Amino acid sequence: MASITFARRDGSPWVPQYLESIDSDSCIGCGRCYKVCDQGVLELKGVNDEGELVDPFDDDEDIERKVMTVANPGNCVGCNSCSKVCGNSCQTHGPAEAAA
């Protein structure tokens, strides 16, 4: 199936690459991607000692580390700013399929 394709100002084609997932094993929770995304796609989560995602600001939780998650994938505009600032290349992006 064909991908959604747009035209740039000069007429050349552009296929947006939408955020699909973040690898929680390689994400260090630095927040760089969160800072560049003004669409509200991402959310910081804590990982407890059982490997569960929890509220990182809950004082009752014993957090081992923090990771970024895809909270609102439908808000992604496919700009790839998040992947450009990620030092660990933890994100997976892909094109959206055009409706038939």
Averaged pLDDT in 10-residue chunks for the chain of 100 residues: 89 95 95 96 95 90 93 96 96 86
Residue-level pLDDT at 54: 94
Residue-level pLDDT at 59: 86
pTM of the model: 0.85
Strands (E), the chain: 6-7, 13-14, 18-22, 42-48, 53-54, 63-70, 91-94
Residue-level pLDDT at 1: 64
CA–CA separation, 65 and 52 (whole Å)? 11
Residue-level pLDDT at 27: 96
Residue-level pLDDT at 100: 65
DSSP letter (8 states) at residue 42: E
List Cβ neighbours of 99 (8 Å cut-off, separation of 6 or more): none
The residues spanned by each domain of the chain are 6-94
Structure tokens at 43: 């959310």
Domain covering 6-94 in this structure, CATH number = 3.30.70.20
Residue-level pLDDT at 6: 93
CA–CA separation, 39 and 93 (whole Å)? 16
Structure tokens at 12: 């050349």
